[in-house]
Amino acid sequence: MISKFVEHPNDVGESYFTHFSKACSFGFKMLKLSFICFSHAVLPWTFEKKASEEIIDMAEEMEERRELAECED
């Protein structure tokens, strides 16, 4: 059972706690972005580009982390 907790983090070149920390970081960013999106829905002049810019940044960071993990293999 323990191997299930470390299998994926090891596959991407991270410890369980490093992976946990980064995954939580992305999760909290997504929660913040959901608030921004709902705020924009109600008040369209607010956060006009914020969510899309942050999502692009997150996607780029995830891709860089993926490429780094592939290079370490």
- Per-residue model confidence as pLDDT tens digits over 6-46: 888 888 888 899 999 999 999 999 999 999 999 999 999 99
Q: Report the residue count for the chain.
A: 73
d(CA 14, CA 72): 11
| Local confidence band at 73 (pLDDT 50, 70, 90 cut-offs) | low
Q: Residue 47: count other Cβ atoms within 10 Å of its Cβ.
A: 19
Q: Which residues 6+ apart lie within 8 Å of 14 measured at CB?
A: 22, 69
Q: Which residues 6+ apart lie within 8 Å of 9 measured at CB?
A: 15, 16, 18, 19, 20
| DSSP secondary structure letter of residue 46 | S
